[in-house]
Copies of this chain bind each other. A is one copy, B any other.
Amino acid sequence: MPVAGRPTSKDVAQEAGVSQSTVSLVLGGKWSGRVSPATARSVRTAAERLGYRPNQAARNLRLGTTRTVLLMVPTLTAPFFGPVYTGAARVAARHGFGVVVSTWPDGADGPAESPFPAPHEAIDGVLASSMPAVALDRFHGTPAVLLDSGPDADVPTVDFGVAAGMRAIAAHLAGLGHRRFGHVAAGVDQWTFHARAEALAAEVAALGGTLERSACAIDVASARDAAQRLLARPDPPTALVCDDDLIAAGAYKAARALGLDVPGEVSVTGFDDVLLATALEPELTTVRLPAEEMGAQGMTALLELLDGGRPAPRVLPGRLVVRGSSAPPRAPL
């Protein structure tokens, strides 16, 4: 018997000849010992025949939950955040959660731009990536996990081992014989870049090398200029350590503009290991960060938190990937 509009549990009940509560019990998987197997079967059959799908809004209203979490990122146009989302959504789906995305602070949504309540008012938790802790203020009290934002927060955190990654880069270059380092640094006020700068400075000092620093925005042209400033010094670095792969692409350009061969005359390293790293020529020595794993671990921590747990801070190690952009320095003339 066809039903007008989308079928409800009441329609299924009528079709199966049982009460609506029985339908709910069976389809909710809470029937064993309470409903006879035969009845359960007939409910399932009826539900299938009618193409019944439970109404989420009613379920949410009744349970006071939305099974939706918000992933907040600074931008979706950087290659880093796609994988983070993918990992988070994978874990979320396994637990019946959906993930909505918003960008902040330049976000597409939010009360400032819209007269409507922002969609993220209806969420159970927040996953915020690459943000200062104050970004969580607007969610007063909503369970939250911070990703890639540093371990010093009063919510659970998941971070990359960027300090160890930078040390691995420096050790690799030092092993090749480099002593004069240039740091083409992202001039961006995020924990990860502060941590990278600090670790590099400490490691170079420990190795007895010298380090000059030049800051830039995270774009190719700005990185090229910053790298050029370093290479134009009287006693230029033999290795340019770049804060990410895109910046490294700018360093390549600076080297080429000055007629310097990479890696013959100057070594260049990146960080992140995005697609770009192997698209460049020579391919880039860099540190691979498990972005998708960060999304997955972050969601796992958030679900633990929603479950009443106290997930411990996690640190995901990066891995040095040596490719063609690093080599021993040219012997002094």
Contact = CB atoms under 8 A, between A and B. Distances in A.
B108 A93 contact: yes
A82 B278 CA distance: 21
A229 interface: no
A317 interface: no
A49 to B, nearest CB: 15
Contacts of A67: 116, 119
B119 A98 contact: yes
Given A58-B61, A61-B61, A86-B77, A53 B117 contact: yes
A96 B81 contact: no
Contact of A220 (B117, B120, B279): B279
**Copies of this chain:** 2
A276 interface: yes
B76 A93 contact: no
Contact of A281 (B57, B90, B94, B252): B252
A61 B53 contact: no
A115 B96 contact: yes
B276 A279 contact: yes
A310 interface: no
A82 B77 contact: yes
Contact of A108 (B81, B86, B103, B249): B86
Contacts of A108: 86, 89-90, 92-93
A307 interface: no
Contacts of A246: 275, 279
B119 A97 contact: yes
Contacts of A161: none
A126 to B, nearest CB: 14
Interface of A: 53-58, 60-61, 66-68, 75-79, 81-83, 85-86, 89-90, 92-103, 108-110, 113-122, 220-221, 246, 249-250, 252-253, 256, 275-276, 278-281
